[in-house]
Structure 1
Amino acid sequence: MSNIYSPKEFGKLIGRTTNTLQKWDREGRLKAHRSPTNRRYYTHDQYLDYRGLKAAEKGQTIVYARVSGVGQKPDLLNQIKALETYCQERAIPIDEWMQDIGSGLNYKRKQFNRLMEMVELGHVRRIIIAHHDRLVRFGYGYFEAFCERHNTQLIVVNGDSLSPEQELVQDLMAIITVFGARLHGLRSYKKAIKDAALHKDQA
């Protein structure tokens, strides 16, 4: 038996028309899942729930994808396709797909912050990402522990090919630039102190 059904297949399975399923979807009575291409589908778990054979789980399942720059949009699409395949092969129904274009060093990403807020509110049961650094470049352990404290499971597909090497180079260069600027600032500050002390002695 298939684990994923089109609206027509699911309708035949439960003895309802496609129109009825569309109406239930709009009303929120039986929500269809949607792929990144906005195609509706149903899962075998939903069939079991409909028949009263399994209690519904609480919280949403969210897939999160990220690339560093606009020029990597093709990489983002490949990442999403790989995640979609992963979820379909395991019959994991997805409630929402989130994506950001921004550095893994930037914690002000719009969807990332929204996702963390949802976790904190207890609205997320499961987060699926391609690789650890799709969530954050550094400090993954902190966010993993944060999710655990709020009963959210982090699933990492862990595909190295889904983590472009050029992003790591860009992020490392960003770190070097920041620390280089700070070092220059410290040197300027040290010189200013030295000059001030010299002027004091001459006064």
Structure 2
Amino acid sequence: MLVKEWALLEGLHPQTVWKWCRQGTMPVPVEQTPTGMWLIHDPKYETASQSNPADSRTVCYARVSSGGQKEDLQRQADRLKAFAVGMGVEHPEIVTETGSGMNDRRRKLNRLLADPTVGTIIVEHRDRLARMNAGLVESALKAQGRRIIVVDETELDDDLVRDMTEVLTSFCARLYGRRAAKHRAEKALEAMRDERV
């Protein structure tokens, strides 16, 4: 179990739990992966969450925004696979996808989210899952006994800053989308005018 998950269940601040892990004063068994991530093995939570471990799959999800980033996509997938193996996953599945993080038109991710046999989804950064509202996806999966692991949590942890970034990203997407739509409409009208002449 991740530090943030255990801290939430125990009503503690994650920084306190990380400090305890580093000092070796945790009241339950912990381990540090080769990548430096702390995993907490609390028997009272692990036995409840591992009701059907044979059916649960771990999938690494890598995404880039455009087709010109194929090399980046492969490197991202390789890093995720190495992380999963470091966590102890014997045969992690890799799912790669090219598509915008601003909308829900990602068939492969939608399939993963709808598949109840996928117990854990590993992503490199939170925005690889979704640019906005990734927390809602996490909450929905958690309610089903599933989880998302974010490898690099160095993103902004300040809720206000994250919310502001999401709002600005949404406004930019709408603005650029409108500009593109307006541009396409102008071209269509111009083409109609040209046909009349």
Tell me which residue corresponds to 2:128: 134
What is the CA-CA distance between 1:76 and the residue it aligns to? 0.4
CA 1:179/1:139 → structure 2, altered by over 3 Å: closer, same or farther? farther
Specify the alignment match of 1:73 in structure 2. 70
Q: Check 1:170–1:148 CA distance in 2 against 1; reply closer, same or farther (3 A cut).
A: closer
Residue segments in structure 1 that go unaligned for 5+ positions in a row: 1-54, 162-167, 185-203
**Structure 2 residue 123 is matched with structure 1 residue 124:** no
Q: How many residues align?
A: 120
TM-score by length of 1: 0.51
Cα distance, 1:91 vs structure 2: 2.1
- Alignment of 1:93 with 2:87, yes or no, is no
Question: 2:149 — aligned with what?
Answer: 155
1:157-176 superposed matches below 5 A: 157-158=151-152, 173-176=172-175
Give the SS at the match of 2:62: strand
**Distance in 2 (alpha carbons) for counterparts of 1:69 and 1:170:** 17
The answer (yes or no) to whether the contact 2:63–2:96 under 8 Å persists in 1 is yes
Contact between 2:81 and 2:92, CA under 8 Å: does it hold in 1? no
Share of identical aligned residues, percent?
31
Deviation, 1:59, is 1.2
Q: Deviations over 1:82-126 (max 9, x none)?
A: 1122122222234521111000012111101111111xxx21211
Inter-CA distance 176–94: structure 2 relative to 1 (3 Å threshold): farther
User: Partner of 1:84: helix, strand, or coil?
Assistant: helix
Change (3 A) 1:72 1:160: farther
- Counterpart code for 2:73: L
Structure 1 runs (4+) deviating above 6 angstroms are: 168-172
Task: Determine helix, strand or coil for the equivalent of 1:104.
Answer: coil
Higher relative contact order (CA 8 A, sep 6+): 1
The 8 Å contact of residues 65 and 99 in structure 2, kept in 1 or not, is answered as yes
**Is the 8 Å Cα contact of residues 63 and 94 (structure 1) preserved in structure 2?**
no
Decide which structure has the larger Cα Rg and report it: 1
What is the alpha-carbon root mean square deviation over aligned residues? 3.1
